Amino acid sequence: MTSTTSLQKTPFHAFHLDHNAMMVDFIGWDMPMHYGSIIEEHQQVRKSGGLFDVSHMGRLRFKGRDACKFLDHVCTRQILGMNQGQIRYSLICNNQGGCKDDVLVYGVGDSEYLMVCNGANRAKLLEHFANVKGDYIFKLKDETESTAMIAVQGPRVMDLFRSFSTEIPELKRYRFTTKNLLIAKILVSRTGYTGEDGVEVILPASFAKKAIGLMLEQGEEAGVVKPAGLGSRDSLRLEAGMPLYGHELTEDIDPISAGLSFAVKLEKGVGDNEAENFIGQDALKKIAEQGPSKKLIGLKLDGKRTPRQMMNLLDGDHVIGRVTSGCLSPTFGYPIAMALVDADFNGNSIAIDFGKKMMDASVVSLPFYKR
C-alpha cells in the first residue's frame, strides 16, 4: 500500500515496508495494521512473542525544581515519593473528573521524570500543561520525534533478553533500567499492554534501524519474536481488559467509573499528605462518595457477530449503557466486549442492539484473559 506523504513516519517505517506491512493512517501516523494476519500475530504474542512499533506514543521529559509538584498537580496518582527506576500508571483529568489521557510516569532521577502518553493526546496534553503551568518551575521537552519506542511482548520474551542483559529479566513489574547498547543509551521498562510479560524499549531515533535488527536477528529466526501490528495489539489489550483512550476513557468518562480507582489518590494534599492537589480531585471525591453512575463490565457472545463501539445495551426495554470496545477473540474463538452500563445493573445477561437484530450477551468478569 502506498503511504500518504503527509503522514508522520516512525523511525521503523522502512522496516514495516520491507516486511510487507498493511499500512494505515493512525492518528496522523503511517502505521502497520498487520503483516499478513491479525489473528496469527495475536496468537504469536500469546504463545511466544511479538514486536510492536509504538513510536507514535508521546514521550515528554519533565525536569527542574517543581517537576514533581507539577506532575502531582496534573496526575491522579501520587508522584511525590516515587523512586528512581519506578513507573506509575496515572490519569490526567479535567476539572469535572473526565480523563484527558492515561499515562505512564517514569522516575528518572532527582527532579526528572519521563511521561509516556497516547499519541492522539500528545498535542492536547502539551497545550493543557502550558495552560496550567502557573508558577511551577520546570522544563518540558517533547522527545517523541527524537526517540523511538518498541514493545516486545510474550511469554518467551524475557528469555530472549537474557542474551542482551542479565539485569533486564530480573526487572520487577512497573520498573525500568537504562542500558548501553553499542553506542546508544536505551531505556528498558516492564509494564505491558497485552496481558503478557515483556518489555518496552525507548532509544534514540538514529539507532532504531540497528536496534530492531539486533533484536530480531536472534528472536525472529528462532520463531520467538515476530513483528506485530496495531490490529493484534488492540485485540490483545481487549482480552486483557485494559482500557483504550477514546473507548473506555474519554473526557466524559471518569477513572472511577472506568474501574481505575487504584490509579486515583484522593488523599493528595489532605492531612499530612504533602503532595499537590490534582486537577479534578474535588469532582472525583464527590463521585467516589456518591458512587459512580456507570460501571465497566465484560460481555461474552455466542456466534461470530462482533459488538462495536457505541452499540446500545438494553435491560428489558431500557437502554442502560453502550459498548466501548469489541472484537472476535482470537484466543477464545467467540466475540467479547467491554461496556459502560448503569451502576445499579446487576443482571447476568444483557441485550445488544445490532440495528436490525437484538442479540443476548452474558456478563462476565474482567479481564477475559489472564496468564
Q: 2 pLDDT exceeds 50? A: no
Copy the grid coordinates of residue 285.
Answer: 471525591
Given the DSSP bridges, would you call strands 358-364 and 349-353 parallel, antiparallel or unpaired?
antiparallel
Q: Give me the mean pLDDT over the 79-106 stretch.
A: 98
Q: Look up residue 42 and give its three cell numbers.
A: 495475536
| 271 Ramachandran zone, left/alpha/beta (phi>0; psi -120 to 50) | left
Q: Spell out the CATH class of 261-364.
A: mainly beta
| Residue 54 · residue 194 · CB < 8 Å | no
Q: Mean pLDDT over all residues of the chain?
A: 95
Interval 327-363: pLDDT, tens? 999 999 999 999 999 999 999 999 999 999 999 999 9
Whether the predicted pLDDT of 16 surpasses 50: yes
Q: At what angle do helices 122-132 and 67-74 cross, to 10 degrees?
A: 110
Q: What is the pLDDT of residues 118-177, one digit of tens each?
A: 999 999 999 999 999 999 999 999 999 999 999 999 999 998 888 778 889 999 999 999
For CA atoms 229, 230, 232, 236, give the dihedral sign.
Answer: positive
Note whether 54 and 77 are within 8 A (CB). no
Residue 214, pLDDT score: 77
pTM of the model as a whole: 0.96
Q: How far are the Cα atoms of 112, 121, 128, 200, 233 from residue 175, in angstroms, in the given order?
A: 16, 24, 27, 11, 22
Instruction: Using the predicted structure, report yes or no on whether residue 84 has a pLDDT greater than 70.
Output: yes
Going from the C-alpha of 14 to that of each of 30, 238, 285, the distances in angstroms are: 11, 29, 48
How many Å apart are CA 300 and CA 292, to the nearest integer?
24
pLDDT tens profile 26-70: 999 999 999 999 999 999 999 999 999 999 999 999 999 999 999
Q: Which fold has domain 13-57+145-239?
A: Gyrase A; domain 2 (3.30.1360)
What's the one-letter identity of residue 284?
L
Tens digits of per-residue pLDDT, 215-225?
777 666 567 89
Mean local confidence (pLDDT), 279-284: 98
Q: What percent of the chain has pLDDT over 70?
A: 97
Domain coordinates in residue numbering, the chain: 13-57+145-239, 261-364
Q: How confident is the model at residue 5 (pLDDT cuts 50, 70, 90)?
A: low
pLDDT at residue 184 in the model: 84
Question: How confident is the model over 247-276, as pLDDT tens digits?
Answer: 999 999 999 999 999 999 999 999 989 999
* Predicted confidence band of residue 4 (pLDDT cuts 50, 70, 90): low
- 182 near 213, Cβ under 8 Å? no
Contact indicator for 328, 334 with CB cutoff of 8 Å: yes
**57 neighbors 117 (Cβ within 8 angstroms):** yes
